[in-house]
Amino acid sequence: MTFKKYSLKTQILISLIFIPLNFISAYISEQLQVPFFMDMIFVYAGSFFGIPCGLFVGFGHSLIASFFWWHNILNLFYCICCFSGTFLTWFIVTRHQEVVWFRLLLLIFVSTVVISLEGSIIYSIFFSTAEENTELATVFFLTYTLVLQNIGLQLSAFFARLPVNLFDKAFAVFVGLGIFIGGKKLFAKGELKKVN
């Protein structure tokens, strides 16, 4: 499987579909109390279509979630994690001609570490003293379990995110790739109809 270059117009149209789908998947996950973020499935799917698509989905999701879910504009800083996922997808996977399973596994591992670090910094700076907890329950519990063991807040927030993000990013990368493959087939059928 190769990565075709999609036009900016196509990527914007795809992102307009993926933004609400990403928000819905994260929101349903939160309501069902799934112990993972589930907020980057369509970010990775968009990233396989191209960098602009991934960036639009990440920013759009974060913007909508900040206003309509968390009711706090500071949560928009978490779009940095989405941007990292997009750029890592390009750097590790899509800039190469062929998909190699090793690259997907490397993307999962590097995304887990980088996004856990970013998330822990954002949490430590903006949300650790907030009156209302906006943190995922699993991460919140693990973070303060580690804090009680005299591990610093930022390090605890980082370690707490690692196991959660490992599963979350693995799920998001593989489901995102599946969505990309399905979307690619739909585009191929559409192009054949135009030719005929």
Amino acid at 166: L
Q: What is the pLDDT of residue 1?
A: 66
Q: What is the pLDDT of residue 195?
A: 40
Residue span of the structural domain in which 120 resides: 8-189
Q: Tally the domains of the chain.
A: 1
Considering the domain boundaries, does residue 194 fall inside one?
Answer: no
Average pLDDT for runs of 10 along the chain of length 196: 85 97 94 93 97 98 92 94 98 90 97 98 90 81 94 95 97 97 86 47
- H or E, element range at 34: none
Q: What is the pLDDT of residue 97?
A: 81
pTM attached to this predicted model: 0.93
Q: What is the pLDDT of residue 192?
A: 42
Residue corresponding to tokens 């991460």: 139
- CATH number of the CATH domain containing 166: 1.10.1760
Considering the domain boundaries, does residue 141 fall inside one?
Answer: yes
Considering the domain boundaries, does residue 61 fall inside one?
Answer: yes
Q: What is the pLDDT of residue 191?
A: 59
Considering the domain boundaries, does residue 2 fall inside one?
Answer: no
Distance (Å, rounded) from C-alpha 151 to C-alpha 89?
32
Considering the domain boundaries, does residue 3 fall inside one?
Answer: no
